[in-house]
């Protein structure tokens, strides 16, 4: 018996000595209190940048053709186009042409669960930022704030679904004082292209009402079958979104590590966007 106890104590000591793996939080809405109502808070997605996968386009220089990374190219890259679209006021009416909003209803930072929804909004270009959310939008989901220790995250990349791109910017991993949402499906409108994403999760540092907070992560899965039907103009020529992604049909980057992913038996890509939340007055 003494030997058995010694063995068990040794196993316990070994387990305690092994560092725990980093963990991602999950939000359970089972016990959400639907009756309490508090003031809502509006945050415009003032910045939305694709961090993974990257997009590639064929570039012809005389008789030579090569595959160029067009994700972060100044002025003409995908992220530059998204930024230009989010900052546009084409008719000079003092309102942004595109204003995706996060509507927290109510907004709380005490760790209790509440609702958040993505909606289109009508927002002023002038400061202070003022926004009127659309009456309806994407199906609301639940969120919760956390105070996390080292090694834990509100959201992070899924293992085996990313690549290391030359000069690429790292995918954010919100931690510390952060919030995370439940999973849901929705169509992301970037102002440049509409992307149907599945099992999306949003997480970010807890924002400050009336201020801007960066470092958010929007994660979701794009099916290859959907990407093949989405058209994107490239140098005046329409191309499918699939043909711009690593491993996609017609892509000039057809064979690259971290190309196609899988979700529920579907081929496609896990998308990772970094976003900034700009606090707005209602």
Query: What does the alpha-carbon distance between residue 53 and residue 244 come to, in Å, rounded to a whole number?
Result: 10
Query: Is the pLDDT assigned to residue 13 strictly greater than 80?
Result: no
158-168 per-position pLDDT tens digit: 999 998 777 78
- According to the model, what pLDDT value does residue 257 have? 62
Specify the pLDDT at position 30: 67
Spatial distance between the Cα atoms of 114 and 249, rounded to a whole number of angstroms: 41
Average pLDDT over residues 218-240: 91
Is the pLDDT at 124 greater than 90, yes or no?
Answer: yes
Q: Mean pLDDT across the stretch 27-44? A: 72
Q: Residue 17 pLDDT more than 70?
A: no
Task: Quickly count: other Cβ atoms within 10 Å of residue 19's Cβ.
Answer: 6
> What sign does the dihedral 224-225-230-233 (CA atoms) show?
positive
| pTM to 2 decimal places | 0.87
Query: Does the pLDDT at position 190 exceed 90?
Result: no
Cα Rg of the chain, angstroms? 22
Average pLDDT over residues 93-118: 94
Of 259, 189, 269, 264, the residue nearest 226 (C-alpha): 269
> For position 267, what pLDDT does the model report?
94
Percentage of the chain exceeding pLDDT 70:
88
């Amino acid at each position: 018996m003494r030997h058995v106890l010694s063995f068990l104590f040794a196993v316990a000591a070994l387990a305690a000595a092994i560092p725990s793996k980093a963990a991602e939080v999950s939000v359970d809405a089972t016990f959400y209190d639907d009756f309490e109502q508090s003031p809502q808070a509006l945050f415009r997605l003032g910045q939305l940048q694709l961090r993974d996968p990257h997009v590639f386009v064929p570039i012809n220089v005389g008789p030579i053709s090569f595959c160029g990374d067009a994700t972060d190219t100044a002025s003409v890259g995908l992220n530059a186009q998204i930024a230009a679209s989010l900052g546009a006021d084409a008719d000079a009416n003092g309102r942004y042409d595109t204003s995706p909003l996060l509507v927290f209803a109510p907004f709380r930072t005490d760790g209790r669960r509440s609702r958040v929804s993505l909606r289109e909004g009508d927002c002023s270009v002038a400061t202070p930022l003022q926004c009127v959310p659309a009456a309806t939008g994407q199906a609301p989901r639940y969120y919760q704030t956390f105070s996390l220790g080292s090694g834990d995250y509100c959201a992070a990349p899924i293992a085996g679904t990313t690549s290391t791109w030359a000069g690429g910017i790292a995918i954010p991993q919100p931690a510390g004082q952060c919030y995370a949402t439940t999973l849901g499906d929705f169509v992301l409108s970037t102002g440049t292209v509409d992307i149907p994403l599945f099992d999306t999760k949003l997480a970010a540092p807890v924002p400050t009402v009336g201020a801007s907070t960066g470092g958010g992560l929007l994660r979701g899965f794009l099916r290859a079958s959907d990407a093949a039907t989405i058209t994107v103009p490239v140098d005046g020529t329409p191309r499918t979104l699939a043909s711009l992604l690593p491993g996609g049909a017609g892509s000039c980057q057809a064979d690259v590590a971290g190309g196609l992913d899988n979700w529920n038996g579907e081929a496609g890509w896990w998308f990772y966007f970094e976003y900034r939340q700009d606090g707005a007055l209602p």
